[in-house]
Amino acid sequence: MPITINRPTIEEYPDYYQEYMNLLPEGDILYILEKQAADLRYMFRKISDERAEEAYAEGKWTMKEVLQHLIDSDRIFGYRALCISRGEEAALPGWDEGKYVYNSLANIRPLESLLDEYELTRRSNMAMFRSFTFEMMNNRGVANGREISLRGLIHVMAAHELHHMHILQTRYLKRK
């Protein structure tokens, strides 16, 4: 049964996500999340593996590494959403995104493989999100030492991706 997931109040997510949340348009969050998957695939449509292994500056992630970060983030946000929806009371750990990207070896993978994994991960999360009830959206949990509602987490997931898509568009793709 499809539900509407209302936009969270500022008290439903950590304040350090506010910059990301400011990027998020109004509208159906599930539609936004689905559109992101299509937009990301379209963004990478003409990028070669070699080009995707370039960074816009010394010490910055490559496009493949950014994509791997989005995959890792989807998995982690999805796991957190599962835990919170099920009433988990234990605090969920944070994660070192730089270490995850470094250890992923994203640059030795074909770009198409990363895009396929991203789409599968997003589709899996979308199926789970659609199974949630309106009542579950008010569930709260602790992730990375901060309280967050299920509704807040789903919106933060989309907002985080918008942030990185903006970086890809402005710092990587506008370069050449």
pLDDT at 104: 97
Report residue 174: phi and psi, to 5°.
Answer: -85, -10
Reported as a single tens digit per residue, the pLDDT across 115-153 is: 999 999 999 999 999 999 999 999 999 999 999 999 999
pLDDT at 174: 83
Stretches in the chain below the pLDDT threshold 50: none
List the chain domain ranges: 10-173
**Does the 10-173 domain belong in CATH 3.40.50.620?**
no
- Please answer whether residues 101 and 69 qualify as being in contact, where contact means their C-beta atoms are separated by less than 8 angstroms: yes
Report residue 3: phi and psi, to 5°.
Answer: -125, 160
